[in-house]
Amino acid sequence: MADAIISRSISLSLCIFALLFIEVSSASNVTYDSRSLIIDGQRKLLFSASIHYPRSVPAMWPGLVKAAKEGGVDAIETYVFWNGHELSPGNYYFEGRYDLVKFVRIVREAGLYLILRIGPFVAAEWNFGGIPVWLHYVPGTVFRTDSEPFKRHMQNFITYIVNKMKSEKFFASQGGPIILAQVENEYGDIERVYGEGGKPYAMWAASMALSQNIGVPWIMCQQYDAPDPVINTCNSFYCDQFKPNSPNKPKIWTENWPGWFRTFGSKVPQRTPEDIAYAVARFFQKGGSLNNYYMYHGGTNFGRTSGGPFITTSYDYDAPIDEYGIPRFPKWGHLKQLHEAIKLCEHTLLHGEPASLSLGPAQEADIYTDNSGTCAAFIANMDEENDKIIHFRNASYHVPAWSVSILPDCNNVAFNTAKVGFQTSVVEMVPEDLRSSSHTGSKGLQWDMFVEKAGIWGTTDFSANGLVDHINSTRDTTDYLWYTTSLLVNENEGFLGKGTQPILVVSSKGHALHAFVNQKLQASGSGNSSKPTFDFKCPIALKAGRNEISLLSMTVGLQNGGPFYEWVGAGISSVKIEGFNNGTIDLSSSSWTYKIGLEGEHLKIYQANGLNNVKWQSTADPPRISLSHGTRQL
């Protein structure tokens, strides 16, 4: 009996201990007025952090959320990725990195709110903007306009997600963490391009969202005509001058970009912590109520999720938490101090009367005073080059160029956005010295490689007279499509045996290709993020008799946004060979055979259970690609 009592006592103690360290965020009522969101009757000034669950692995989620909370945020924001969840019509997936329910639970247990941007179009530098490729091939479908098939599938998905959240009691109206939901995404800038289908679609999306009865407000970012009660919000580097489209709506910043995404071949984009802090302080100085960092942790575009084209697998975004989950100093620490200073002003900012005071040609103060006489002020120096001594309320303040000083009591400076108090830390990736077994005295490495056959391997998938679109052929099941044809060369052609070579001329809608003649690599070409299409010329080696021309077309992430983006194609559009006795031969309308994907993909050699499916060739050194001829861009 004594043992049982001791056991119960220990169990009770463990439960109490667990409760002390598990904070469960909950709310029962979320509304809004012109000043802010109102949660359980209290106006709230909120900082939010974008962390996309599929861009990190589940084991990282608790640490990421914890680091965000320690950085002073109140909420986590994420998109919902349609093409990651509905793999084919009605076939849903919510496992692994796509376990949305697990992610929301982790946020709830951390004591944070959640902003759910269902979209379901997300852009987000994500493949096809997050919309499933299969939807493009549903007859009569046009994305993001007054298209009945698109609207039907979009509503079905949003309803599915909403019901999934409701079943877990995740909405604040059910006592859960979700305080806002978003429908559509940055549509206002392109609405007019869709003509008569644009505005009706936007209004339908808002009405459909409201019909879901989730009990919390809906938002539409960059949607200038968002109908009441849907809140329109701002996405930009600076949103201090943004005004909602109704005096009854709060000022919300859904995407404050602390950096930018990276494309292949470009420099690493960066944004200083001083500039981010300046933008945030100005936003709250001018009546802002909710600031969300996009991204707070960017993470990684795993698998084939990168959009673009040519967006890198790294989605680090120069965010406050880096790609590997490590706080980035001084950015993370500087913003943490900023949040603390602004939170000191919360009650006064949300309840006080604002007044603006000019203090110079590019200097001003905004003062908030509530009924009790409590005062908070922001002093801004918008001069980008010159520090200023600013006189305010019988005191002098040194305000550096392009900075804001925050005075929670209208007297003492709690924080200045240009004064960074944290040291810079740099994470270095140190390469291992991996030597091959050819080095004497080194244990080294043994390499095995699988050599792909250039051109058609196995059974031909289809044939056609002419060149086909890459995406329409692969339906994005792979990045690779083989185009193969043959060419008969007469023995009397002038280039044979005389040291001259014919010239292969290729035009491509994108994104990259390798050109082979008779199984030998001749040249490679690619576009880039600003111009995915490309042309190239290269000399090739042809022989008398039949020659096999094989072109491997490759995609590097599909379009992720823009008007009618789903109609942007890829693949080879023209193939010619110059230098024949009779001039140029155009192969574009010839008979071509096609093979979708690489043989190694089909054999799944990238998986452990596929390693034994092929014959591997051992080598002491990893293979290197060398071209017999360089390419010349047209």
Instruction: Give residue-wise pLDDT tens across range 69-126.
Output: 999 999 999 999 999 999 999 999 999 999 999 999 999 999 999 999 999 999 999 9
Roughly how many angstroms between the first and final C-alpha of the chain, as a whole number?
89
pLDDT, residue 18, reads 38
Contact 220, 183 (CB under 8 A): yes
Residue 413: predicted pLDDT: 98
Residues of the chain with pLDDT under 50: 1-22, 439-441, 627-634
Answer yes or no: are the C-beta atoms of 542 and 488 closer than 8 Å: no
The answer to whether 134 and 71 have CB atoms below 8 angstroms apart is no
Question: How far is it, in rounded angstroms, from Cα 292 to Cα 339?
Answer: 12
Identify the pLDDT of residue 17. 35
Q: What pLDDT does 222 receive?
A: 98
Q: What DSSP string runs through 171-182?
A: BGGGTSSEEEEE
Contacts of 592 (CB under 8 A, 6+ apart): 463, 464, 465, 466, 467, 468, 483, 484, 485
Quick one: tokens of 619?
């080598």
C-alpha torsion angle, residues 417, 418, 424, 427 (rounded to 10): 60
pLDDT value for 23: 54
Radius of gyration in angstroms for the set of CA atoms belonging to the chain, rounded to a whole number: 29
- Distance between CA atoms of residues 191 and 194, nearest Å: 6
Give the separation between CA 170 and CA 192, rounded to whole angstroms: 36
pTM for this entry: 0.92
Taking the CA atoms of residue 122, residue 127, residue 131 and residue 132 in that order, the dihedral angle to the nearest 10 degrees is -160
Cα 273 off chain centre by: 21
**What is the pLDDT at residue 4?**
39
Catalytic annotation, residues = 186, 255
The angle formed by the CA atoms of residues 326, 332 and 334, to the nearest 5 degrees, is: 155
The whole-number pLDDT of residue 179 equals 98
CB 130 within 8 A of CB 124: yes
- State the helix-helix crossing angle for 100-109 and 61-70, rounded to 10 degrees: 40
Tokens at 569, concatenated: 């194609």
